[in-house]
Chain A
Amino acid sequence: MTATTRMRWVIKPIVWTGCLVPAGILVVRALRDDLTANPIELLENWTGYTTLTLLMITLAVTPVRRLTGWNGVIKLRRLIGLFAFFYACIHFSIYLGIDLFFAWDLIAEDIAERPYITAGFTALLLLIPLAATSTKGSIRRLGKRWQKLHRLVYVAAGVGVLHFYWKVKADTSEPLLFAGILVVLLLLRANVVRQSARRIRDRLRLVPAE
């Protein structure tokens, strides 16, 4: 099997399935009436958590590529990133349409005056141009500017973590965990770490050849 075939028929379907699992679990729980006493809160938390998790995974793609030398992993980043955007849109739609039931005055007040919602809304806004320019055509047309634009994902992820941190009442362990993961993922991109990663990788390759 060539790498392309394997990517198209094995790896991508697996990743697609994986990305749909969070939504699938919600559907199953809804059918089993297992959405807790506060289903709207559960749906919001679940979709938000999934968004952040998928964003972190997209940020892990480049470090994984550098550590393992597997260039193909880049092909998965757009897929996972778009799923993160998908869950972010569901998360926002639930807030907009079910939680606040299109009460635009309350929504506007929330976005303007509640820092955690300002942050969440900002993070979503930042993801929109990223999703919109995710096509091969855009990559080609924007050239070098594409790279620069897509650095916004770092900001979106950071603001997303802030949204989570500002929302929780007392249990800051999960937002702080995400913050920690984000810091590690960003550090892994620093040049000094890139060089160490390359050295480790080269050394590991040499061992079997001896």
Chain B
Amino acid sequence: MLIRKPDDIPSSEITPESMYVNRRNFISTVAAGAAAALVPGTAAACQAGGPGREQEEPNSYDDITTYNNFYEFGLNKDDPSKHAGSLVTHPWTVKIDGHVAKPATYALEDLLKPHTLEDRVYRLRCVEAWSMVIPWRGFELGKLIERVQPTSRAKYVAFETLYRPAQMPGQRSPVLDWPYDEGLRLDEAMHPLALLVTGLYGKDLPNQNGAPLRLVVPWKYGFKSIKSIVRISFVEDQPPTAWNKANAREYGFYSNVNPDVNHPRWSQRTERRLGELRRRRTQMFNGYGDQVAHLYDGMDLRKYY
């Protein structure tokens, strides 16, 4: 998929300055990181990392595709890569419904056609206190939202994963309330950082990473980045979300990465960046605070965890 040539891009689509500077760092990081696998056990000192503060090399393709939480394929980290092969991702449809001007069910190719795919390197921070740096390929969720024209009644965007126990063996046991669902407030969904993703390291998403279409919301815990999406609904009330249903005390709707609000059973103050020897101090909003903090002005993030 080609990046459009400069004269095709209207000024309204020019990336804001702050994002452009970050993206330049990220892309050179991808180029460097794609050439060499990350050396395991690098003895980095405990890092106070953040965007632009030091080069953050993406994790290896191997690590990203063999260490996954995707309970639809099993509960162990290596289960998705072992079992996700059974999932058939083509043909794939995505239903857009709820408070939108044009609800419709799209074939995936038709959903993607108007959008230019771009490469973005994001940190992903799991609620379990490990993290990776991943070069995603996708397009801004906000662009899709603009296209489908939500009405004034739409306050939240709800997402749903495929329900197909015949191909997703984990769905045969009620570990979570299948199908997996997630949601964002409309302004969060419109934020330029929120991506609908179809690829990884420039290749199509492997099944275990959420093929063929997933969400990536890098300032929130990883479980918000729902995989294998089949439905996007625009709703008035805060939608139910799988982990919140499973354990409301431990997993909130917002789930912004926040070192000051611990999980009831473990600390969120530090994280294990895969490939590094020393733990890192977790950054507020996973280091994306300068871009997203304004979304939560005046909100008590301890209450709205």
Contacts and interface: CB of A to CB of B under 8 A. Distances in A.
A24 interface: no
A145 to B, nearest CB: 37
A103 B63 CA distance: 27
Nearest to B126: A169
B249 to A, nearest CB: 13
A169 B69 CA distance: 11
Contacts of A202: none
Given A100-B279, A170-B71, A106 B272 contact: no
Interface stretch (B155-163, B189-197, B261-269): B261-269
A38 B77 contact: yes
Contact of A106 (B132, B246, B270, B274): B270
Contacts of B132: 37
Interface in B186-234: none
Interface residues of A, number: 24
B261 to A, nearest CB: 13
Nearest to B62: A37
Given A109-B267, A115-B265, A116-B265, A171 B175 contact: yes
Contacts of B277: 98, 101
Interface in B32-63: 40-41, 46, 59, 62-63
B128 interface: yes
Contacts of A33: 40
A166 interface: yes
B173 to A, nearest CB: 10
B247 to A, nearest CB: 8
Contacts of A100: 279
B25 interface: no
B66 interface: yes
A181 B182 CA distance: 37
Contacts of B78: 36
Interface residues of B, number: 32
A162 B116 CA distance: 51
B267 A114 contact: yes
B305 interface: no
B246 A36 contact: no
B130 A170 contact: no
B267 A41 contact: no
A166 B270 contact: no
A49 to B, nearest CB: 13
B19 interface: no
Contacts of A113: 267
Interface centre among A41, A100, A115, A166 (most CB of B within 10 A): A41
Contacts of B266: 114, 116, 167
Contacts of B63: 37
A80 B59 CA distance: 40
Contact of B67 (A38, A109, A166, A170): A38
B66 A170 contact: no
A40 interface: yes
Nearest to B78: A36
A66 B75 CA distance: 38
Given A36-B77, A38-B274, A99 B279 contact: yes
Given A170-B176, A171-B75, A41 B246 contact: no
A161 B176 CA distance: 23
Nearest to A173: B75
16 contacts: A36-B66, A37-B59, A37-B66, A37-B132, A37-B275, A41-B130, A99-B272, A99-B279, A101-B46, A101-B277, A103-B46, A113-B267, A115-B265, A116-B265, A167-B266, A171-B76
Interface of B: 40-41, 46, 59, 62-64, 66-67, 71, 75-78, 127-128, 130, 132, 175-176, 246, 265-267, 269-270, 272, 274-275, 277-279
Given A100-B279, A167-B266, 17 more contacts: A36-B67, A37-B59, A37-B63, A37-B66, A38-B130, A38-B274, A39-B40, A39-B41, A41-B130, A41-B272, A99-B279, A101-B278, A101-B279, A113-B267, A115-B265, A170-B71, A170-B246
Interface of A: 33, 36-41, 98-101, 103, 106, 109-110, 113-116, 166-167, 169-171
